[in-house]
Structure 1
Amino acid sequence: MTSELLTEDRGRDIARRARRNQLTRAAQWFAGIEADPYGLVLRAGTGEPTDAEEAVRALGPLHHSTLLDTWVTADRAVAQEVIDNPAFDGPGPAADTPGGDPLPFRSAVLTLDRASAAPLAALTAFGGSLLWADDAACVEKRTATWARTVLAALGDRFDLAEDFARRLTGPVLAEQLGLPEAAHERFSRLLPDCRHALDGLLCPQTHATALAAEAAETAMVGLLTDALYESTADTVRAAKIMALSAAEPTAVLIANAVRLLLDEPGGWRRLAEDPDRAGEVVEHTLRTAPPVRLESRVVRTPVTLAGTELPAGARVTLLVAAVNRDPRAPRDAPPFGLSPDLHFGLSAHLVKAVARAALRTLAETHPGLRADGDPVTRLRSPVLRAPARQPVAAGRGRP
């Protein structure tokens, strides 16, 4: 009888959260219909969001989306202040949010606060107790080995995002986390259902996707608890954050970099002739087509931002791609994004290292690579604008 009651309670809880998820998505859709530029960004179809992002910029350094009750900025200085100021913290809701979290299926480990993220970052640093590699060069060497293995199993036509980039990140991350080889396959099989976690921080995913993600994250905790060399509450949490915040952004970064190069006349040829330019390509992609386009923070203590007083509980979203296009930003400013204060403080260094090695190896192996159809962006992906498909043909000779 007790298990039946628990099952009924769980069913009611899922139904309640599903209704809240639908209401949040409806609010975003309605905001877009009303031409709210932030609503248009969050509607997240397959179109390019640049016009909506620039519409936010035109409304000033800090725009209030009244329909979605969120402050939004495309201003570099304002965005940097949000990252630097401890008054702004993780994207999770305040404990007293009326009605609960408007996005009730959000990944709990990606809503951590600064105080929780800081000690975990030491575990995942190069040379830390959790990450296998002592430096970026070691990661790149091992990634190149895995990349050649993945590419050797592909034909002359393949999907760059699904068949190469996403297939690569699983074994690379598993190895870097020190998981035994017997756990690599299961770890890689769990990652696809976790790939929507970052988008789910701001955009409600479909009910089936949300439930699959919850199940995959629960299974991931079990796997890491059993397989990590030093399994503690902190190492399991840090490893899970690494998996969710590194795998899909790395794949998106690789795919975006290749797309930019193939769209640019002679772009891929120049990389093929000098594969060591891969680092430069990664930095350029982080600036012009970042793998994470939206960063969200919540005000924890009242603060003044861009001359506006924000109360505790106010939500702020940074339009990362638009921030990088800010004409008033210093010319030598590094790419903005993969912010160091929260989950990317644990994984950004690995994301960049794996992307550099993947691009270098792909250019060495397939110097004649070319697009073989139009890329398609995944729906409900405003944070990542992740590719659903990106077909390429791999010419074997010199371009």
Structure 2
Amino acid sequence: MESSERQLRAQMRFFHDLVRKLAAQGDPYAKVLSAPDNPYPAYEEIRARGRIYRSPLGTWVTTDHELANQVLRDRRFGVRKADGEKVPEFMNFDNSMLGLDPPHHTRLRRMTMPTLNPRIVERWRGRAEKICHRLIDDIMAKGDRFDLMTAFAHHLPTAVIGDLVGIPEEDREHFHHLSREIVPLLDGVVTYEKARSVDAAIAGMTELFTRIVEQRRVEPREDMISRMLPLVDEGSLSMDELLPLCMFLPLAGTETTVNLIGNGILALLRHPEQWRMVAENPDLAESVVNETLRHDPPVQTYRRIAHEPVELGGVVLPADGELAIVAAGANRDPQVFPDPARFDITRVSRNDTLAFSAGIHYCLGAPLARFEAEVAYRTLISRMPGLRQAGPVRRRGSFIIRGLREFPLSAT
């Protein structure tokens, strides 16, 4: 056991040292993996290498919108290697949809869709508005200054997704604590120590949801767990599949919304003329969502594995060849989005961003994240029109999830 732990530590240390070395030598993809506060210059360096290029790390990389969109919709690519190994390395999504390819992914996605159907999700708008107002009331009662992420952004999606999935009110603080421990799994920057912490948190989350599932057997409600338990009883869904769904759907959905809220408010405060536009016309909040998803999306990069040799952009990826799709770079492709580095909520474009992926892995929670962020922008701007940044932001240090750890604000 000690030998395997030493080996894993050595592998992780070697990988991180190699990334630092190649970044210093100018490899733009290694620069991205180093998780700089501003990765967008590195994305442009990648674009300058051509539609697709191979990093010395062995990964093919693209920021080309057309190629990225094509690969995300191409069934010849998936999230696992032919031998079943999941990617990225050091991640363990077990049986959740995040780590599965068809046919298992298709089956689980079909079972989950009723909970996240846009029509059902929209019913929660009033609940989200009440939560936003309550959070702002609490903030204003405590004083002028607050941290957007810890006082507001984290609480809204946790409450909404808790209702949707079926996490009891009394368990949500514990769920939030465990989620914080599992987040490095999504960040993709994992040390040995973090990997062990993630394993412990997953064990805790499994215990938590095992108990919640048993509660829902006795007292079913209008939530995902209650809706899916009959599928377990009839044998079309196993408990080993249900528990990861309970864990990772709320985690992924919460993280996307948290960072969409933070990134959008930061962009608006850096463009005060656009903040004023939303204050005068709250219906523009939806446009803020769209432009934030394009300009500074919460999820920056996806990875796909070729299931067979595939010709792409003039090169042939071999079977099991790994491709990094830099969605945040594709969302700034000048061939698709004019003046792409400019944040502009009045932008009119018929082209889709890749902020929620595309194809069979398109984010089921996209409608939920969109309306939560829209409600958050509307409420914050209407209740706190004089909101301003009150100190430097601190980013989370991830090349996958783009977000803020700290975002100090003042209401006046």
Give 1:166 shift: 1.4
Give 3-state SS (helix, strand or coil) of 1:270's partner. Answer: helix
* Counterpart for residue 206 of structure 1: 191
Relative distance call for 1:215 and 1:275 in structure 2 (3 A) is farther
Query: What TM-score do the two structures reach when normalised by structure 2?
Result: 0.84
Q: 1:177 to 1:219 in 2, by over 3 A?
A: same
Match of 1:357 among 364, 375, 382: 375
1:79 paired residue number: 68
| CA–CA separation in structure 1 for the residues paired with 2:396 and 2:15 | 19
Q: Which residue of 1 aligns with 2:218?
A: none
The CA deviation at 1:185 is 2.6
**Which residue among 112, 128, 150 is the counterpart of 1:124?**
112
Aligned counterpart, 1:393? 410
Q: 1:209 and 1:353 mapped to 2: Cα distance?
A: 33
Contact 2:90 2:195 in 1 (8 A): no
| Partner secondary structure for residue 405 of structure 2 | strand
- AA aligned to 2:137 is A
Deviates more, 1:30-39 or 1:357-366: 357-366
Query: How far, CA to CA, are the matches of 1:148 and 1:113 in structure 2?
Result: 40
SS at match of 1:187: helix
Contact 2:73 2:360 in 1 (8 A): no
Q: Is the 8 A contact 1:193 1:212 kept in 2?
A: yes
Number of the residue aligned with 1:37: 28
Question: Aligned residue for 2:184?
Answer: 196
Map of 1:62 onto structure 2? 52
The 1:132–1:84 alpha-carbon spacing in structure 2 relative to 1, beyond 3 Å, is closer
- For 2:170, give the aligned amino acid: A
**Cα distance in 2 for residues equivalent to 1:343 and 1:307:** 25
Select between 351-360 and 26-35 the one with higher mean Cα deviation: 351-360
Once structures 1 and 2 are overlaid, which stretch shifts more, 14-23 or 53-62? 14-23
Cα distance, 1:178–1:134 mapped onto 2, change above 3 Å: farther
**Equivalence for 1:383:** 400
- 1:23 and 2:11 matched: no
Distance 1:114 1:33 in 2: 39
1:305 maps onto 2:312 in alignment: yes
Contact persistence 1:124–1:347 (CA under 8 A): no
2: distance between equivalents of 1:161 and 1:210?
24
| Alignment correspondent of 2:258 | 251
Structure 1: how far apart are the matches of 2:74 and 2:87? 24
Q: CA deviation at 1:102?
A: 7.6
**Amino acid in the other structure paired with 2:179:** L
Q: CA–CA distance in 2 between the matches of 1:390 and 1:72? A: 31
Q: Of the candidates 346, 349, 370, which is equivalent to residue 364 of structure 2?
A: 346
Distance in 1 (CA, whole Å) between partners of 2:242 and 2:138 is: 33
Partner amino acid, structure 1, of 2:402:
R
1:123·1:131 contact (CA, 8 Å) conserved in 2?
Answer: no
Q: CA deviation at 1:182?
A: 3.0
AA of the residue aligned to 2:200: A
**Judging changes above 3 Å, is the alpha-carbon distance between structure 1 residues 237 and 343 closer, same or farther for their aligned structure 2 residues?**
farther
Q: Which amino acid aligns with 1:282?
A: V
Select 2:301's aligned residue among 268, 279, 294: 294
Counterpart among 269, 274, 277 of residue 262 in structure 1: 269
Instruction: State the one-letter code of the partner of 1:247.
Output: T
Contact kept in structure 1, 2:116 and 2:364, CA below 8 Å: no
| Secondary structure of the structure 2 residue equivalent to 1:388 | strand
Structure 2 residue aligned with 1:150, among 135, 145, 160?
135
**Deviations along 1:211-266, whole A, 9 cap, x unmatched?**
22222222222222321334443433323231232111211110000001000022
Kindly indicate whether the alpha-carbon contact (under 8 Å) linking 1:171 and 1:188 is maintained by their aligned counterparts in 2. Answer: no
CA gap 1:327/1:101 in 2 versus in 1, 3 angstroms: closer
| Structure 1 Cα separation of the partners of residues 82 and 16 of structure 2 | 20
Cα distance per residue 1:168-219 (max 9 Å; x no partner): 222221111122333223222222112222222xxx3233322222222222
Aligned-partner Cα distance in 1 for 2:210–2:360: 22
Q: CA RMSD in A?
A: 2.4
TM-score normalised by length of structure 1: 0.86
Q: Give 5+ residue unaligned stretches, structure 2.
A: 213-224, 233-238, 338-348
Segment drifting more, 293-302 vs 215-224:
215-224
C-alpha separation in 1, matches of 2:211 and 2:117: 17
Correspondence for 1:316: 323
Cα displacement (A) at 1:84: 1.0
Q: Does 1:218 align with 2:203?
A: yes
1:3 aligned residue: none
After TM superposition, give the deviation of residue 158 of structure 1 in Å. 1.0
Deviations 1:318-355 (A, max 9, x none): 11121111122275202222114466533222222221
**1-structure distance, mates of 2:5, 2:208:** 24
> Shift of residue 12 of structure 1?
4.2
Report percent identity of matched pairs: 30
Q: Contact 1:269/1:368 (CA < 8 Å) preserved in 2?
A: no
Shift in Å, 1:53: 0.7
How many Å separate the matches in 2 of 1:341 and 1:355? 23
Q: Distance in 2 between matches of 1:153 and 1:14?
A: 46
Kindly tell me: are residues 167 and 18 of structure 1, through their superposed partners in 2, closer, same or farther at Cα, counting changes over 3 Å?
farther
Alpha carbons 1:78, 1:306 under 8 Å: kept: yes
Could you say if the C-alpha distance between residues 285 and 217 of structure 1 is closer, same or farther in structure 2, counting changes exceeding 3 Å? same
Q: Is the 8 A contact 1:139 1:353 kept in 2?
A: no
